[in-house]
Structures are given as C-alpha cells and as structure tokens.
Amino acid sequence: MTQNVYHDVTPEELGKKLYKCADAIRNAVDETRYKNYILPLVFYKSIDDTFSDRLEEQKEQFAGDEELARKAITGMSVPEDYRWESVTERSENIAPYLDEAFDALERENDQLRGVVRVTYSDEEALNDQRLRDLIQRINRFELSTEKVEKDFLGEAYMYMVGEFAKDEGKEGGQFFTPPDVIDLIVRVLAKSGGTDGFKKGASFHDPTAGSAGFLVHAASYFRNEQGGDPSTWTVTGQELNADIASIAQVNTFMHGMEAEIRREDSLANPQFPNYLSEDEGFDYVLANFPFSADWPKDDLKDDKWDRFDWADKLPRADRGDYAFLMHIAKLLNKQGRAAVVVPHGVLFRKHESKYREAMIKEDLIEAIIELPSNLFQNVSLPSAVIVFNRDKGPERDGEVQFIHAADERFYVERSNHNDLTPEGRDRIVSAYESWLTEDRMCRTVSVKEIAGNDYNLNTSIYVDTTEPEEDVSVRDELELLRKSQNERDEVEARMTHQMGALNYE
C-alpha cells in the first residue's frame, strides 16, 4: 500500500515544517521542554494515521466489519475513544484529555508501556488555546507510515530532534550526535575487519543511546546500502535520562524498527547482562559516551562481571572514559566489533597508559581515527574514533591503522561548529577499508612499534602531517639572485642620473 505522499518533499523539509509547530508554544514554555510536548504528539498522529490506513485495508477484507478488521491489524492500534480526530475536536480540558489518551495508548499497546512520559496537565502554560493551536498545526500533516517510503518519517523525526537539540545548546548535545559523525561511525563499523558490511541476524547495542541515532542509521545503512532486512537484527540500547530514552524508543518506532531501549546507568546497572561475555556478547556496539564524566568507581570495585580489570587500578572517579571503554569491550562476543567516539586525551594521557597497554596487548584495537575539533554542540575539544575488533583476521592481526582526519581536507567550518564533509567521510572510509598507508593521512603500525612508544596512541606520533618542503634548485636560485642584482643596478643608475640633473650630490 506504500505510496509516497511526499514525493516532492525531502524528510528534512518535512522535519522543518513539523519543527515550526513549536511556534505555538514558543516563549510560553521553556525551550528545553519543547521536544517533550511536541514529539509525542507527532508520534500520536503517526500511530493514528497508520492505524486508519491499515484499518481501512482490513475492512475491505472483512466486508466492512470493523471489529474483525481491528483484530486482524498488525502493529499499534488506537482505542476508539481516543482517535486523533477526537483530539482535534477537543476545545476544553485538552491537557488532561491528552494525558488520558496516552495512558489509553499504553494500555492498548504493550510496546508503548513507559515510552511516553510527559504529563501535559503539569505544564501551566499549556492552556487550551495553545494546545489547540499546536494540535491543529500538527494535524495538517499526513504521517502514516503506509504512505511514505521506509525511513522517511523517521528521518523527519530525527531532523526535529536535531533542531530541538540546537535550541538547548550544550545540553542538547547530551542526546544528539551530529548526522555527519553518525554516518562516519556506522560506515566505519560496517567495514571493520575488511568486511563488506553488516551481518544478517546480527545483534547491535548502544550503551549511551541518546536519541538512538546510531542504531537507526545502522539499520538504514543495512537496508539501503546492502539490501538487507534489519528486522532480522536484535537491537538494544541503554540511556540514563528517562526523557531521552523515550525519544530514542519513539525514534526506533518512527523508523519501523523493533528495538529495546532501557533506562539505567550502563556502568552501574547494565540492563543486558546476558551479553557481558564473549560467548553471548554483541556483534556490534556503537557509542558516543559523555566525555570525561564522573562514574561510580567506589560502587564497582568488585564488579561481578569483571569489566574493569585492565589494570591494578580503576580509572579516576572524575574521568570515566576508560570505564566506558572497558564496559564496551566486555559487551563484545568473540567476533564482536565496536566503533566509539572518545575525547582526544584518551589516546595519550600519561596516567592512563596502563589501560592502553591492556588494549594493545590484547590486540583489541583495529583503528584510531583522529577527528577535527568542534564537531559537537556540547564539546569543542578534538575527538577521535577507536575501532575495536576481537577478530581482526590474519591480514590485520598485530597492527593498528592510524588515520589523521583532523585538517581542512575533511571538514567545513560552520558558524558555530565544524561538519565532516561527505568527501572527507568517503576518504576516511576508503582508507580504512583498503588498509592504506598514505603520506600525511594514514599509516598501518605494528603493535610492537606502539609498545616502543609507551603505548601512546596519539596519531601525530605515527602519521607525519607536516607539509613537505619544496625542492630547491641552486641554479634557479642563483639566476633569480643575478636578476635581482641587475634590477638593483638599473635602479641605482636611474637615481644617480636624476640626482645629477638636480645638481644634488
């Protein structure tokens, strides 16, 4: 039944129009809460539009019998008393009605339990007039997944999430990774180990899921670039912030994915403990964890999964970068791979060399990719990507590829941040996939050489990024010198003549 009703509109353009709906409550509600009230309504409308299309299709199969048609519908359904049309017709007590409607949706659909956390009646500024305006704005859009291409609504939703993240400034960076960085991470992970892409039936996890950008883009890549079916995957994520976890779960729904996002601290309370072993671990892990954040070190000294055993001392309590890396490494199965965004200091901070030594001795690292600074809303510092691979293969065993992608060849400057360009991303992925060594960009290095550098992983040690000096021709330089001397002699002769004509000595 799929028919693209937005054949002349891009997902970004639809996302812009939906984001503009925020004007109905702008300046009345704190901008950090726009997303909490608007995204659930967009989701509600999408569920109802999709349900309407599927209901009509089934009614044709059952001679107009709506009861039988309802029972035959697969996917989410909407209680008759809380159809979207009823929402649009409401003129008073709209906030409590919306709260009732979301409760009813939850009761009707087990997969929605705990997903929509907002309570509209708790926000005094959301009076009937503003809510009615907001609902009518959203009502103008057709949001049925039956009438658009795969990922279309999901990409529009992600655009909205990105705009709300910009509204929140640095705080928004906690739940939104820029699309250019997401694209690079997903493509690098797909090519890890020199493979042609992701596996059918694979398991994926993001321990700091944010809005689930990595997970949905990996699924889109598998579908669009490999012709695969991500419904064969097991997709999970964990997110500490309950409101952000809700956005992540809705994001997966809007992309037509089956995924499970759980709310808890990944380090203190991992929600997928069955995967914390090589036998049962994940095939792929993607992550952009909070840089240099506090972590519950004292509570995890005797971790029952032995995650933090890379050295005789645990990472500092106020710098949890390596705690996250140890957790991620433990999540991987015997063929597992991970691509993780890290602060640049992780590569060379002296007091953490013992953790780098553990990674190198285990031959866990496949690649280090140095990125430009100022790629993220909440962090201006330079960053890098560490690629883990527990099964690198004979051609890559005992080696690490270092890629310098921090200069102007790879990014473009925006008004307040930098973006990795499509050409820059292509160049990084091509070098990584081909395992190339190229002057001023990348080099494949033995673990023995890294050990000789006290396990320092700073790219500048291994990739010479200095501009080569031009060859100098002595003959050409002498010719230039003679020419300059002749020109000087001519000027002096003219000056002497003119001074003589003026009787000036």
**What dotted CATH number matches 175-462?**
3.40.50.150
d(CA 71, CA 91): 31
pLDDT at 263 over 90: yes
The whole-number pLDDT of residue 3 equals 58
Q: What is the mean pLDDT of residues 470-489?
A: 75
d(CA 331, CA 391): 14
**Gap between the Cα atoms of 106 and 126, Å rounded:** 22
Provide CB contacts within 8 A for 59, sequence distance 6+.
65, 66, 69
Q: Specify whether the CB–CB gap between 5 and 140 falls below 8 A.
A: no
The answer to whether residue 2 scores a pLDDT higher than 70 is no
Q: Is pLDDT above 50 for 298? A: yes
Distance of CA 498 to the CA centre of its chain: 73
Lowest mean pLDDT among 94-98, 122-126, 172-176: 172-176
Q: Residues of the chain with pLDDT > 70: what percent?
A: 95
Here the tokens at position 177 are 């990774």
Please state the domain extents for the chain: 11-152, 175-462, 472-505
**For residue 449, which of 440, 437, 434 has the smallest C-alpha distance?**
437
Q: Other C-beta atoms within 10 Å of 408: how many?
A: 11
Mean pLDDT over each residue of the chain, to the nearest integer = 91
CATH of domain 11-152: 1.20.1260.30
CB-based contact 292:321 (threshold 8 Å): yes
Answer whether residue 253 shows pLDDT above 80.
yes
Distances (CA, A) of 495 to 266, 485, 498: 82, 15, 5
Examine domains 11-152 and 175-462 and report if their fold is the same. no
Q: And the tokens for 468?
A: 């080569």
Q: What is the pLDDT of residues 33-92, one digit of tens each?
A: 899 999 999 999 999 999 998 888 888 878 777 778 777 777 889 999 999 999 999 999
pTM of the model: 0.88
Whether the per-residue pLDDT at 1 is higher than 50: the answer is no
